[in-house]
Amino acid sequence: MDRTNNSEPILKLEDLSTHFAVPEGIARAVEHLSYHVFEGETLGVVGESGCGKSVAALSILRLIPIPPGRIASGKILFMGQNLLELPMKKMRKIRGDQISMVFQDPMTSFNPVFTIGYQLSKVFTLHQKLSRKEAVKRSVDMLEACEIPSPERIMKVYPHQLSGGMRQRVMIAMALGCNPTVLIADEPTTALDVTIQAEILDLILRLKKKFGMAMILITHDLGIIANSAQRVVVMYAGEKVEEADVLSLFEKPGHPYTIALMKSLPHLGKTKKFLNEIEGVVPPPFRVIQGCKFAERCPEAMERCRKERPRLRSIEKGHMVACHL
Ligand SMILES: Nc1ncnc2c1ncn2[C@@H]1O[C@H](COP(=O)(O)OP(=O)(O)OP(=O)(O)O)[C@@H](O)[C@H]1O
Ligand SMILES: [Mg+2]
């Protein structure tokens, strides 16, 4: 794909900060975050639990509850227009029509009292203004595209009657129903059994190709990124600490946090233990930290790291790292 300087990203976050008012003060869940995705590309966003990956994604779709949330700075440019400035009515149209999202836990995204068929065909009657009959047909087609056996039967069941993997397939069918330009997949396989995870990820990647979407793939698993994304953004405590194309990230990881994430990747025969190489946890987002947020867990931390926040700088073309080393 052509990614020369004149091709503009389809979606671009610029200096996004999303804060929440909490009893302890202000939770800076996302701080001065910039990332972008090109048409047809997969951008991986990786980081431990609590790093702000989902808050950033929900900010794109303007699904942050305000209050207690607040977009404190930045722009979200989708095909050149700033989504943060759109009236809610227009935003609702973009949501689902052009940018859609697959969540970690499909159960919470369904209404338990309606059948799959009812909920799925609503996507088409509401967004594409199809007749009830056409919508049912499109729904069955989408279920088929998501490799769901006997789709006509599945249309008649309720969400709880499906396995987790099947529910995730239905949710993907729903998200892709309107042929979005950008798909945000937020930990789409985390809640599933290991054997099903690979199947679902494979399905998402094939559908992504078939429908020609751009994708933001959010995960805490660098292993998933390695096989599916072209570029990666590594987040720590609400901030971007590294950005690179996949090859360069795996060949020359620049940030000690990225290196730690890599070391925690499961190896064959070893049980998976997340971040067993570094101690401690992500600092809570309301804590005010002067220097590098990772310093307290970093094996390489120096005096300067505790005093001065490192800025992102380029170490090679398209590869940026925020670290004093
Ligand atoms: N509505 C809210 N009110 C207050 N704090 C919130 C709210 N939503 C999120 N946060 C805080 O924002 C921070 C970032 O959360 P976020 O869900 O984006 O993390 P994440 O990187 O997606 O983690 P995970 O991998 O567990 O999904 C967390 O500390 C979380 O507690
Ligand atoms: Mg999340």
pLDDT tens track for 10-41: 999 999 999 999 999 999 999 999 999 999 99
**Nearest protein CA to atom 19 of ligand 1, as residue:** 50
Mean pLDDT score of the chain: 91
Mean pLDDT of 204-209: 93
What ligand 1 atom has the least distance to the C-alpha of 27? 5
Please count the other Cβ atoms lying within 10 Å of the Cβ belonging to residue 69: 18
Predicted structure pTM score = 0.93
Q: Give the per-residue pLDDT at 5.
A: 46
**Nearest protein CA to atom 6 of ligand 1, as residue:** 20
CA distances from 88 to 3, 85, 91 (A): 32, 9, 5
What ligand 1 atom has the least distance to the C-alpha of 47? 21
What ligand 1 atom has the least distance to the C-alpha of 65? 1
* Cα 84 from chain centroid (whole Å): 18
Strand 182-186: give its sheet, edge to edge.
99-102, 182-186, 214-219, 42-46, 231-236, 239-245, 319-321, 313-316
User: pLDDT grade, residue 101 (50/70/90)?
Assistant: very high
CB of residue 64 inside a 6 A radius of ligand 1: no
Place of tokens 């609702």: 92
**Nearest protein CA to atom 17 of ligand 1, as residue:** 54
How confident is the model over 278-299, as pLDDT tens digits? Answer: 678 899 999 999 999 999 999 9
CB of residue 256 inside a 6 A radius of ligand 1: no
CB of residue 58 inside a 6 A radius of ligand 1: no
How confident is the model over 41-88, as pLDDT tens digits? Answer: 999 999 999 999 999 999 999 999 999 999 999 999 999 999 999 999
Residue 316: in which H helix or E strand, if any? strand 313-316
CB of residue 109 inside a 6 A radius of ligand 1: no
**DSSP letter string over 77-125?**
EETTEEGGGS-HHHHHHHHHHTEEEE-S-HHHHS-TTS-HHHHHHHHHH
CA dihedral (285, 290, 291, 297) positive or negative = negative
User: pLDDT grade, residue 267 (50/70/90)?
Assistant: low
Count CA atoms within 13 Å of residue 60 on its CB side.
Answer: 31
Of 54, 184, 224, 289, the residue with max ligand 1 atoms within 8 A of its CB, to mutate for a pocket test, comes to: 54
User: pLDDT grade, residue 180 (50/70/90)?
Assistant: very high
What ligand 1 atom has the least distance to the C-alpha of 21? 4
Of 55, 217, 282, the residue with max ligand 1 atoms within 8 A of its CB, to mutate for a pocket test, comes to: 55
Q: Give the per-residue pLDDT at 190.
A: 86
